[in-house]
Amino acid sequence: MLGTLGRHDIEELFQVIPPPVRLRKPLQLPPGLSEPEVLESLGQLAARNTAARGFRSFLGAGAYTHFAPAHIDALISRSEFFTSYTPYQPEVAQGTLQAIFEFQTMICQLTGMDVANASLYDGSTAMAEAVLMALRITGRKRIVVAGSVHPHYRDVTRTYTRNLGIEIDTAGYDTGSGQLKAEGFSLDGTTAALVVQSPNFLGGVEDLAAWSLAAHDQGALLIVVVAEPMSLALLRSPGDCGADIVVGEGQSFGIPVSYGGPYVGLFATREKYVRQMPGRLVGQAFDGQGRRGFVLTLSTREQHIRREKATSNICTNQGLFALMATIYLATMGPAGLREVAEQNWQKTAYLAGRLEGSRDAGLRFSGPFFNELVIRLRRPLPSLLARAHAEEMLAGLPLGDYYPELEDCLLTCVTEVHTRADLDQLAEVILRS
Amino acid sequence: MDGLAGMPELSEVDVVRHFTRLSTWNYGVDTGMYPLGSCTMKYNPKINEVVARIAGFAHQHPLAPAEASQGSLLVLKLFEEALCEITGMTACSLQPAAGAQGELTGMMMIRARLEERGNPRRRVLIPDSAHGTNPASAALCGYEVVTVGSNERGLVDLDGLRRAAREDAAALMLTNPNTLGLFEEQIEEIVRIVHDAGGFVYMDGANMNALVGIARPGDMGIDVMHINVHKTLSTPHGGGGPGAGPVLVSAELEPFLPVPRIVRVADDRLEASVDAPRSVGRVRAFFGNFGVIVRGLAYVAANGPEGLREIAETAVLNANYLAERLGETYDIPYRGAFMHEVVFSDKWQRACGVTNADIAKRLIDYGFHPPTMSFPLIVPGALMVEPTESNGREELDIFVDAMKSIDREARENPSILTGAPHLTRIGRLDEVAAARRPVLRWKPET
């Protein structure tokens, strides 16, 4: 091949690179490994995650351990799915495109909204994009965010908006119920949006319909964040409650927790706002012979056409992980989803019941919950966590780093994967510690 | 109508057959050559898929205590260090979920540093050959975009850059090699001009596949860059994600990296630290796209320094080979020493009434994925071809034969092209009608 080019040495192809910036020594990296060596070496690293195998984890807080049927992984391992790129050429990407259309449809059904996009990076960035969209729609400069929205999500929104000259106010939670508190903040004619998470980071289910009225009274949008979308199978949908934008994290739908990613960001809104949406959208189209297919559409919103005037700088979606969620939802169906959601709630209620009447531990908040509880402990948290660890359990997330006033509290998540024996054992540890 | 009631009720085998059927309507890297320019559609090694699914990685909760997460933290640290070595940069954050988010993060860091110096400045300079995410990312940081022209060779016009690099210029966003597949030979002078004006140079590392082991942005004076793990480091594109877009910086910008930072504490223990007062903040929940990062680390480990350099050499050789063999059949508006890709145009075929889209669609009938056509904007009728290292000479020759055959068809029977593709399930879809009355979801018939 070099001969075809009239060259003798591969080096000649790089002569345009100025000598001072040419790398003249090998990269200082370990020598290449054979396949069994790669497996061995990475396997050793994985083994240092001492709590990933055998442990029962009661951690939630934005990453949920649910059961994923085996065929999801089998299907996404079809290399026609995972080795393809963004479907720019619809004639050879109908598989990806139709799957996204199905994803958009099911996200609309779950959230009660009119339109959903092809997905964003994750729940946290979806929330930031929703805030940017609300600023565009209303032309206002102030956002009110519930303090019970996932702390990481709030951080990401603050990062995304730091150069846009806007004001972000935080609304506190009611120390009794754990729900968003009406006092202490105001919605007014300068407010672009109220952002509420339900179930919130403290496990509490919010009264979205009431917050929708309050926001709309001032011409502000209601953005609903759903970090645990399994709850959508049991609770009244955010769309039905009057949400203008619903964003969320789709990880619960068949995607492993995988140390925090990749996940899949959900984004849905009202029909009238579709041209203000960020991200990829798939729509129905027909060919010259009237055959139905799917294409990327409304791309005049996007960076490759609009450049600096685009609705977002986002380029792709989380295709393969949106596909995982689609397969999960199609498999579970309405009855399966409701059953999983009910199991989550019932098992969580069972744990709450086990703690009832104890002097040593109890629920911190009185409001309705789905699958997470804030448990207050009388005795120091570290000893409880150590004891749970000794029994191969991760009992939950200590909340002090996020909410200093809750430093004696643990956020514990119960899902369908936990057995009664698991819950009894956890309750024992909590009550004994 | 909405609510769970509208969702499908299917048996497992129905679901499996449905999605298996959908998969057969797709074309992937495993199907055949996928020369989509600037996307680096290289082979995705299967061992990486196995590694990412090891239970210790896949089932590790991101909020598990650090002492139980040393494996994941070490994966992050090792990958950060490998990327620093590959790029010659000082420090790295693996938080950004994609290239576009890496860009955004990088531009935020530049702005934060300039604010600290007392003036964030107003403008960001972007060459006219750049990818559309560059201006969109700059705008999201509150900057006005100034386009810098290219010279007749397709490289940054230095005089234009000198005029634009005024005291209100915060940064230049440069893709190197650029989207024409050309190395910016004047890189040292470009960097000097921007630095002398008090600005920073951001490098879009989308095209790093040409440079690994060959040259390092850090040695060129680049201040901040991102690298696309899903391009250069072989992780699958997944039909449009997930990717990962780690951001790398010079020492001056290190304090501004997003949190959490992975830090070594006593006894070589690793921790995720949010104690970074000058940081731009968090750009994503948890730790970035960890599952993608594990795959990237496996790729680096498997190839080692020599394998990585050979990959770059082969990718560049392949692009030059295609330019040489097709350069008399298809116009190449900017000829030069190509790096990872070559941009042809449809100029010589237009006279026959066919466009780059027709050529691309006809390639599908020959069994290939089409090249990129939507940019660079400076080439009308562009056909941007990036063969990557993952095609041997035989495959490249078959591609050359197909392109030559299509050129003959354009002259003899152009309707074959304008009606292409002929061998797919469906023909060209009416995208204009689809956008005029968008149908974005299924609804039950009423």
pLDDT (tens, 9 = 90+) of chain B, 446 residues, equals 457 888 999 999 999 999 999 999 999 999 999 999 999 999 999 999 999 999 999 999 999 999 999 999 999 999 999 999 999 999 999 999 999 999 999 999 999 999 999 999 999 999 998 888 899 999 999 999 999 999 999 999 999 999 999 999 999 999 999 999 999 999 999 999 999 999 999 999 999 999 999 999 999 999 999 999 999 999 999 999 999 999 999 999 999 999 999 999 988 899 999 999 999 999 999 999 999 999 999 999 999 999 999 999 999 999 999 999 999 999 999 999 999 999 999 999 999 999 999 999 999 999 999 999 988 889 999 999 999 999 999 999 999 999 999 999 999 999 999 999 999 999 999 999 999 999 999 998 76
Which of the residues A9, A12, A21, A35 would you substitute to probe the B interface, choosing the one with the greatest number of B C-beta atoms within 10 Å?
Answer: A21
- Chain B, residues 367-426, CB within 8 A of chain A, namely 369-370, 372, 374-375, 393, 421, 424-426
- Return the domain boundaries, chain A: 56-68+333-432, 70-328
Position B266 scores a pLDDT of: 84
Position A310 scores a pLDDT of: 79
CATH code of the domain occupying B27-44+306-430 = 3.90.1150.10
Whether residues A26 and B258 touch (CB distance < 8 A) is answered with no
A264-307, pLDDT tens digit by residue?
999 999 999 999 999 999 999 999 999 999 999 998 877 777 77
Position B260 scores a pLDDT of: 98
Whether residues B133 and A124 touch (CB distance < 8 A) is answered with no
Q: Does A152 touch chain B (CB under 8 A)?
A: yes
Position B132 scores a pLDDT of: 82
Position A311 scores a pLDDT of: 79
Phi-psi region of B241 (alpha: psi -120 to 50; beta: other; left: phi over 0): left
CATH code of the domain occupying B49-301 = 3.40.640.10
Cβ atoms A265, A103 nearer than 8 A? no
Whether residues B303 and A32 touch (CB distance < 8 A) is answered with yes
Cβ atoms A415, A68 nearer than 8 A? no
C-alpha distances out from residue B108 to A313, B137, B174, Å:
13, 9, 16
Position A433 scores a pLDDT of: 67
Cβ atoms B363, B419 nearer than 8 A? no
Cβ atoms B176, B187 nearer than 8 A? yes
Cβ atoms A363, A355 nearer than 8 A? yes
- Phi and psi (nearest 5°) for B247? -115, 140
Say whether B62 sits in a helix, a strand or coil: coil
Position B1 scores a pLDDT of: 44
CA atoms within 13 A on the CB side of B359: 33
Pairing state of beta strands B270-273 and B342-345? unpaired
Position B55 scores a pLDDT of: 95
CA-based nearest residue in chain B for residue A62: B285
Res. A419 pLDDT band, cuts 50 70 90: very high
Segment A161-170 shows an average pLDDT of 95
Q: CA B203 to CA B110: how far, in whole Å?
A: 12
Q: CA A425 to CA B180: how far, in whole Å?
A: 63
A348-367, pLDDT tens digit by residue?
999 999 999 999 899 999 99
Give A4's strand partners.
Answer: none
Cβ atoms A268, A107 nearer than 8 A? yes
> What are the respective helix, strand and coil percentages of chain B, to the nearest 5?
45, 15, 45
Q: Is the dihedral of CA A254, A258, A260, A264 positive or negative?
A: negative
Element (H, E) at B299: helix B290-326
Q: CA B399 to CA B34: how far, in whole Å?
A: 10
> What is the torsion angle, in degrees rounded to the nearest 10, for the CA atoms of residue B274, residue B277, residue B279 and residue B280?
110
C-alpha distances out from residue B247 to B69, B119, B125, B327, B368, Å:
23, 23, 19, 36, 33
- Considering only CA atoms, which of B355, B342, B358 is closest in space to residue B396? B342
Rg (chain B; Cα; Å): 23
> B304: which DSSP letter?
H
CATH code of the domain occupying A56-68+333-432 = 3.90.1150.10
Whether residues B430 and A32 touch (CB distance < 8 A) is answered with no
Residues 6+ apart with CB under 8 A from B412: none
Say whether B149 sits in a helix, a strand or coil: coil
Instruction: Nearest by CB to B28, from A51, A80, A281: name it.
Output: A80
Report chain A residues whose CB lies below 8 A from the CB of B287. 259-261
Q: CA A369 to CA A204: how far, in whole Å?
A: 5
Which of the residues A315, A318, A332, A342 would you substitute to probe the B interface, choosing the one with the greatest number of B C-beta atoms within 10 Å?
Answer: A315
Whether residues B61 and A65 touch (CB distance < 8 A) is answered with yes
Report chain B residues whose CB lies below 8 A from the CB of A38. 47, 51, 298, 301-302
Cβ atoms B427, A91 nearer than 8 A? yes
- How far apart are the CA of A133 and the nearest CA of chain B, in angstroms? 12
- Return the domain boundaries, chain B: 27-44+306-430, 49-301
Q: CA A330 to CA A103: how far, in whole Å?
A: 9
- How far apart are the CA of A185 and the nearest CA of chain B, in angstroms? 25
Q: What is the DSSP string of B273-292?
A: E---TTS---SSSTTS-HHH
Residue type, A323: L
CA atoms within 13 A on the CB side of A367: 23
Whether residues A304 and B185 touch (CB distance < 8 A) is answered with no
Pairing state of beta strands A361-363 and A372-377? antiparallel
Q: Does B70 touch chain A (CB under 8 A)?
A: yes
Q: Is the dihedral of CA B159, B160, B165, B171 positive or negative?
A: negative
Q: CA A239 to CA A263: how far, in whole Å?
A: 23
C-alpha distances out from residue B360 to A91, B301, B406, Å:
11, 36, 10
Q: CA B217 to CA B215: how far, in whole Å?
A: 7
Q: CA B304 to CA B365: how far, in whole Å?
A: 38
- Considering only CA atoms, which of A46, A31, A25, A48 is closest in space to residue B301? A31
Q: Is the dihedral of CA B60, B66, B67, B70 positive or negative?
A: positive
Whether residues A33 and B301 touch (CB distance < 8 A) is answered with yes
CATH 1.10.340.30 fits A70-328, yes or no: no
- Considering only CA atoms, which of B155, B229, B234 is closest in space to residue B187? B155
- Examine the pLDDT at A432 and tell me if it is beyond 90: no
Cβ atoms B270, A152 nearer than 8 A? no
Length of chain A counted residue by residue:
433
- Chain A, residues 167-226, CB within 8 A of chain B, namely none
Q: CA A199 to CA A228: how far, in whole Å?
A: 7
Strands, E assignment, A77-197: 115-116, 142-146, 167-171, 191-197
Q: CA A127 to CA A120: how far, in whole Å?
A: 10
C-alpha distances out from residue B200 to B123, B349, B365, B430, Å:
12, 42, 46, 44
- How far apart are the CA of A78 and the nearest CA of chain B, in angstroms? 7
- How deeply is A43 buried, as exposed, middle or buried, from its count of CB atoms within 10 A (0-12, 13-18, 19+)? middle
Cβ atoms A205, A370 nearer than 8 A? yes
Instruction: Nearest by CB to A63, from B62, B215, B441: name it.
Output: B62
Res. A237 pLDDT band, cuts 50 70 90: very high
